[in-house]
Chain A
């Protein structure tokens, strides 16, 4: 009786989910790929143009700037989002109420929505009445144009994002630290190994896989940057804070050039697919060697 015969009726368990999966995720994905080959607008006008939308994207300065902005943002935000939470986890990897309190503090921002986060940070960064400007005024210093200087605006977005997102990676590191076998530490203590030596030769090497996973997960996540610049700067000044997703949003839902927007979203999909495949490779290789 242990070998159960395959039966079609058993598929009924997965059918309800598959219905939503196929109609609301897979179908729009395929239809979007098809749509990217058309010149199409909201009013039903539709003409097959082959890869013209993609060729147009490659010539579109606004799009190329958005791609460059997005890569720049990922470069600015992912390293701190990989290292700072690791540092916090190392400090907070102990029992007791104090550590639990600080874990709560560093995770609290993660449960807020992007609209709350942007509202809060505008009041910190704005040159007229923002917190930093007020503090600088106490010392007679001029306000910094965090959001209106094209050289500073993406850095500001990265600071906001690091503040918002560091809780989850910190928790992931803490969980991974719990997995390091205790007897290794006991052996190190018997050998009178210093705290630093224990950190460098035991703790960090055993976190290698988690560090890689956090980094790639953040790459995937931060490539989808949207709400922060959309709400704070609308992509400005001069497009300096417009990421790919904001480009898709503007072209698709403000200019209703939907074939063109669909083409741009395929490029985003391709980038994220590559990152996900790398993530899968890292995660399965880590398991094989463990």
Chain B
């Protein structure tokens, strides 16, 4: 076989394998969408006809009338948005502090922050829960947002990023008698926009999808995030008469984050690449 033929054969085989695996990957998603388009009554009898009609949008009509689901969507947006902004601000300041200015014990302190990367959320959950009970922070936005601000990953990322920026840039500005805060704000921060985008997307995704903390902290239905709200809907899964509606909720919950993913896909790929090269 000539090299060219071998190459064509290989490309063909690759494509077949990719299509097969891609179908395995997408089938659960397609199945979910199909079920969401069926009437609940028909699904109660059988799900076997999901791939042919009659289809209906009745479940989507029901969800649009369900104000609770929109409340959860809003809660998720508020919590993820505030967490992301908070993490970006704290990490940028701390990243600058650890990479650019000197203060006693700086390097030891940075190691101490790195140690936090090894602490799993589950190891602190019991006492954190008690603390938030004591401060009456459960079932509140601050209660859902604050724990996300303590994660050290962003500080680590921003410190690495600041270290890679040549020092001559800010030293020249300092010679011009600009204040440290001004150098940080005017000279360095604009250079870190790619890192901010990376950290911002990761933080937003992680916060939006977080299940563990909101499950424990938000016990009132009006303070659920979308993730926890969807969990509460599936508790009575075995007895449910509204399978189609349940699937519609899954689609409804997946759409916003899939939109975010499609819009920011480039940054996500770059973000992961950056993490790998590090």
Contact = CB atoms under 8 A, between A and B. Distances in A.
| Chains A and B belong together in one complex | yes
Interface of A: 1-2, 4-14, 16-18, 20-21, 23-29, 31-32, 35, 88, 91-92, 98, 102-109, 111-116, 118-124, 129-131, 134, 137, 163, 168, 171-172, 174-176, 178-179, 195, 210, 224, 226-227, 231, 245, 248-249, 252-253, 258, 261-262, 265-266, 268-269, 272-273, 276-277
**Consensus secondary structure, chain A interface:** helix
Given A88-B21, A109-B25, A272-B120, A118 B234 contact: yes
Q: Which of B25, B26, B113, B155 has the most CB of A within 10 A?
A: B25
Nearest to B6: A195
Contact of A248 (B6, B122, B272): B122
Given A4-B102, A105-B26, A227 B128 contact: no
Contact of A13 (B96, B131, B258): B96
Given A10-B101, A13-B97, A123-B247, A269 B43 contact: no
Contacts of A272: 118, 120, 123
A272 B254 CA distance: 30
Contacts of B221: none
A209 to B, nearest CB: 10
Contact of A91 (B18, B234, B260): B18
Interface residues of B, number: 97
B63 interface: no
Q: Which of B32, B152, B258, B260 has the most CB of A within 10 A?
A: B32
Nearest to A267: B123
A8 B43 CA distance: 67
Given A28-B131, A119-B246, A16 B93 contact: yes
B257 interface: yes
A32 B101 contact: no
Given A115-B228, A224-B120, A253 B103 contact: no
B120 A112 contact: no
Contact of B119 (A8, A114, A269): A269
A112 B276 contact: no
B5 interface: no
Interface string B20-47: 0110011111011001000000010011
Interface in B85-104: 89-91, 93-94, 96-98, 101-104
B60 interface: no
Given A26-B116, A134-B47, A31 B122 contact: no
A143 to B, nearest CB: 12
A25 B150 contact: yes
Contacts of A120: 28-29, 31-32, 250
A111 B122 contact: no
Q: Which of A119, A176, A248, A258 has the most CB of B within 10 A?
A: A119
Nearest to B26: A105
Contacts of A130: 47
13 contacts: A17-B90, A17-B93, A27-B131, A35-B126, A107-B261, A115-B211, A115-B234, A119-B246, A131-B28, A131-B31, A175-B277, A179-B277, A269-B120
B269 A171 contact: yes
Interface string B38-60: 00000100111010000000000
Contacts of B21: 88, 106
Contact of A112 (B119, B122, B209): B209
Contacts of B28: 120-121, 123-124, 131, 163
B222 interface: no
B64 interface: no
B86 to A, nearest CB: 8
Contact of B22 (A27, A105, A210): A105
A116 B253 contact: yes
A168 B250 CA distance: 22
Given A121-B28, A224-B122, A24 B150 contact: yes
B74 interface: no
9 tightest A-B contacts by CB? A13-B97, A175-B273, A24-B150, A175-B276, A269-B123, A28-B124, A14-B97, A10-B101, A113-B209
A175 B272 contact: yes
A253 B35 CA distance: 34
A40 to B, nearest CB: 9
Q: Which of B31, B104, B250 has the most CB of A within 10 A?
A: B250
Contacts of A253: 129, 216
A108 B29 contact: yes
B152 to A, nearest CB: 6
Contacts of A23: 150
